[in-house]
Structures are given as structure tokens and as C-alpha cells.
Amino acid sequence: MSKLPHHLVGAGVVLRDSDGRVLLVRPTYRSDTWEIPGGALEHGEYPWEAAVREVREEIGLALRPGRLLAVDVVPAQSDGQPPLVNFVFDGGVLSPAEAAVTRPCDEELSAVAWSTRQERNARLAPHMARRIDACLQAAETGRTVYLQYGYGAAFLMLLLAAPRSPRPRAGKEVDLWAAAVVAAARAPVRLSLMSPGETGTSFGWTAYTAPRSLWSDPALWGCKADSDGLLVVLVTLAATASGVLAGRMRRRLTLAIGALLILAAFEAYVPAVILLDADKLRQEPQLDASMLIRWHLVVAAALVATAAFVVRPAAHPSTAP
């Protein structure tokens, strides 16, 4: 018996006021999160009995909770807390008079607070916030939900059913995506390192001026997203998505990102040619067509397009039956 796994079992109660807020309590033995009224089961105690006892001990209410809203299984935590199976019951809606006099009645609590959803998200650990949201939805629909770390069964099924590549990522593909991110990041990094008043035309781009001047000339309209690093975020997200996609979907996504980078690379050139006449272009001592093209994005697009055609190695056959 000593070799069997050990889980704590807890019981809690969701209490609401007439404004739809949820009662949270602040334990003195934890500084990282608030909780709902509740606690661990004592020896020989049932979850519903523990919920009744904890509400009476913590906030002084002689309450008989209603039906079971959720069962949440929480894995062992990095801070040493063991796995937990938590039963959450419906405490109903307290009257304004009851809500107004609710206070801590246990030395293990330092405060109570009626909390909106935004306040709950700020006070609770993320999995606890998800648990309360699921319980409120269960109270409205009349259902009891099964949760894992605050996530509902529908989310877990979607996560398990998400299409993933049957083949491992090739090392060459990783290198190409990483190089594309570096190329796309050249502009925001360069701008962040520039001295006040400094300009630069290296690598074929004349927009290395202070960000506040980007809108002063039609030729620089297309440079804002580049200087803010939005394209870097886009390429990084695409690389992450490519890691779990396979076949045509992966290739279409990759080529679409490459095409978008090409569009961004020539975006500054088009308005300049349309809105500025050729004589004015020739009068600019440091301005020509090649300088209006963001060549670092052309390089990034080429790397992304190459990654689309990298052949991933086949996975080793599974030995499982």
C-alpha cells in the first residue's frame, strides 16, 4: 500500500452575490494566490461534508452547498505541492445583507473579497481562475464538468485531436527559420541602436531614421511595421505553427509568409514611385530605387520559401503494438 500514489482531496464552494461577483479568501499560508472557501478533507470525511465544514470555519456561514459543479484534477506542482483532486460545490447567491457581513473567521485567512472576473484573474492562479469560470458556466447550464488543471474536456479533446506532423522537424528547417527571424529583426534592432540624428543607408534601406520621422515622407509609409518588430513576431509565430503542421498546410502557410515579406520589402518603393516624380527622385543625393527596397526582408522571404521545400526525415516506425 505504501507504493500507491498519494493525492490530496479538497472541497470548495463557489459563493456569489447579487451582482454576480465571486467570494475569494486570502490564506495566510500562501502569498501567491487567493482561493475560494474550502480546504482538504479530514480522515473519513466526504467532500460535501468538508465543504460545509470549511465554509463554517472560514467565514462563519452555516451553509448547505448545492450540487456538484466541477471535479478538477491538479497535477503535482513545482513548489512541492502534491497532486490534488478538488470537488467544487455551488454555494448559491448570498443576499446583500449576508454578503455585507462576510468576513474571515479563521486565523488561516487574512481577508475576503467579492471579486469580478477581472479581479479574479488578477488574484487567482491561472488554473484556479479557469476552474471558477468553468464552475460559473456549469451553474448556469445545470451541468457538472470534469476539469484537468482548470481545463474542460472540450479543450482537452481539441488539444489531443490537433493535427501534428508525423515526422520530426529537420535540423536544416530550424536553421532556415532562425535565419529568417534574424534577417527580419535587423531593422528594429538597428533602429534601437541608432544615435539621435543618425541616419543610415546600408543594406539598401533609407528608413534608418528616428521612428518619429517614419510618416514624414510617402516613401517611408511602409516601414512602420518593420521598425516596430511586427514582422519579426509574424515570422516567429509562423515558424512555431510550421512545427506542428505537415504536408500542404505547412507549405501553404510558409509560402504565404514569404509572399507577405516580399510585399513588405517593396512596400516603401511603390508609394515613392507613384507619388514622387522621377525628377525629385534624381534630385535626392542618397536616394535611388534600390535604397527604397528593404533587402533584409527579401533575404527573410527567401529563407522562409526555402524552408517550405525542406524535406523532413521520415519518423522511425513505432514499436508499440
Write out pLDDT tens, residues 37-76. Answer: 999 999 999 999 999 999 999 999 999 999 999 999 988 8
What's the confidence (pLDDT) of residue 35? 95
What's the confidence (pLDDT) of residue 320? 34
Cell 500507491 found at: 4
Domain boundaries, the chain: 8-160, 171-308
pTM of the model: 0.51
In the structure grid, which three cell numbers stand for residue 116, read together?
469580478
| Cβ-based neighbours of 151, under 8 Å, separated by 6 or more | 130
CB-CB contact of 28 with 107 (8 Å): yes
What's the confidence (pLDDT) of residue 165? 46
CB-CB contact of 89 with 13 (8 Å): yes
What's the confidence (pLDDT) of residue 316? 38
What's the confidence (pLDDT) of residue 118? 94
In the structure grid, which three cell numbers stand for residue 269, read together?
518603393
* CATH code, residues 8-160: 3.90.79.10
Per-residue pLDDT of the chain (321 residues), as tens digits, is 556 767 899 999 999 999 999 999 999 988 888 999 999 999 999 999 999 999 999 999 999 999 999 999 988 877 677 899 999 999 999 999 999 889 999 899 999 999 999 999 999 999 999 999 999 999 999 999 999 888 886 666 555 555 554 444 446 767 777 777 777 776 666 655 555 444 444 333 444 444 445 445 544 545 555 555 566 666 777 766 666 566 677 777 778 877 877 777 776 666 556 555 555 555 554 455 555 677 777 787 788 778 777 655 443 333 333
What's the confidence (pLDDT) of residue 254? 76
| Cβ-based neighbours of 170, under 8 Å, separated by 6 or more | 310, 311, 312, 313
What's the confidence (pLDDT) of residue 61? 92
